[in-house]
Structure 1
Amino acid sequence: MTESDITANKVAFVKSTDDGATWTKPQIIADLRTVGVTDPRDPNVLLRTGDIIPEPAIDPATGHLYVVWQDSRFSGGHFDEIVMSTSTDGGNTWSAPIRVNTPKGRAAFNPSIRVNSVGTVGVTYYDFRDLQTGNSSLLTGIWITKSSNGGQSFGGDKQRVAGPFDMKTDPNAEGLFVGDYQGLDVRGTTFLPFFVQTNPGPGLSNRTDVFFAPPPSP
C-alpha cells in the first residue's frame, strides 16, 4: 500500500443550523489513514472492522465536538490504532489527531465515544495486547480510556471492559467479523459499554452475542 493509498480517504464534517433543511459544504478534518486490520502473525487473516467509519460525539454542556477513527499514522502505516480530533468552535477548526489507545505495537480498532455529564470523554476499543506466543487463538480484549481535559490527553493505562476472547471464532464476512453493534452510552458520570464478542466453545452454532459490561472500577 502506497502513501497516496493511505491518505486517499478523509474524515469530513458538515453542519446544519436549520434543523437539517440545509447543510454546509464538507470540511476536511484530517486524512483517514487506515490500513485495515489483520492477525498480527498472519497478514492473510483479515478482519472486517469499522476502519472507514468515524464515530462522533458532542459535549451537550459546552458544544465541544469529538470524532474518533481507525488510523495508522502513529505506527508508520503498519497497523491501525485509535485517533481523535476535537473542535471547540462548532466545527470551524479541528485539532491535529492524537492517539487515544495505549500503544502496544499491535492494532486497535472499532472505537466508540461518548461524553459524560461532567465533560469526561470516554472511548472504548478493541486491541490485540492479549496475544500469547505459542497460542493460535486471536486473543482480543476490549478497553475503555478516559480524558478529563477535553480530549487533550488520555492518561495512564486503560481499563479492561471484557475479554480476552478468540476473534477467530467470528463468522467470516469479507473478513472475521465480530459485528457492528458496539456502542457507548452514559448515565450521569457513568459510562455504559455495549459490545460484541465471541462465545467460547465447544460448538459454533452461536458464534457471537451482544454484551453489556458494568462500568469498570477506576
Structure 2
Amino acid sequence: MTLKFYTNPMSRGQIARWALHEAGADYDQVLLEYDSTMKAAAYLAVNPMGKVPAIDHDGKIVTEGAAICAYLADAFPDAGLAPTADERADYYRWLFFAAGPLESAITNRSMGFEVEPDKEKTVGYGNYDQVVEALDSKFLTDDYVCGARFTMADVYVGAQLIWGTQFGTLPGRDSFLAYAKRLTDRDAYKSAKAVDDGLIAAIG
C-alpha cells in the first residue's frame, strides 16, 4: 500500500497533512511550487486544476480537502475517525457546510464581494453573517462536529475556524476560540503543523 501526498506548506495542504497524521497514515510527500511544478504536465495529470492538496492512494487519486479528509477516515478505519451510524448526519452536514457555504462566504468577503439583501435567496450561503451565526450556534452547544467525540470532520471544519480566527476572516467568537483550542492541543495537529512550519522556515 502506497500513499503519495502532493502539497505546498503554504496551502490548504496543511489540512490534508493534519488528516494524514490523525489517521496514522504513512505517506511520501511531493512538494510542489505554485508557478512551476504545480502547473506542470506531470501534476496536471494528477489534478487538472493544478491545485493542492491531492493524494494518490494505491493509484486512486483524491483531490479537495474535504474529500481527502472523508476518504482517509474510511481508508484507515483503525483510527476511529469515521462517523458511527448516529453521527453520520452531523458529520456530513457540517463537513459539507464548511466546504460549501463557509468557504464561499469567507472567500467572497475577502475578495470584497458582499451579497445584496435582494440577492441572498439566489446565493447558496445566504450571507456571511448567517454562516457565522450557524457555526456559532453549533459550537455553543457541542464540543465537536459530532457532539462529544472528535472525528475527521473536525479536521476540515476545525481548520477553517482555526485559520479564520487567526487571520481575521472569522470573528473571534468564544465558541470558535474554544473549539480551535481543543483542536490545536491535539498531538496530531501539533506534529503536522511542525512539519509544515519547518518547511516554510526552510523556504524563507
Q: Which has the higher contact order (CA 8 A, sep 6+)?
A: 2
Q: Give the strand-richer structure, 1 or 2.
A: 1
* TM-score (ref. length: structure 2): 0.30
Q: Give the helix-richer structure, 1 or 2.
A: 2
* TM-score (ref. length: structure 1): 0.29
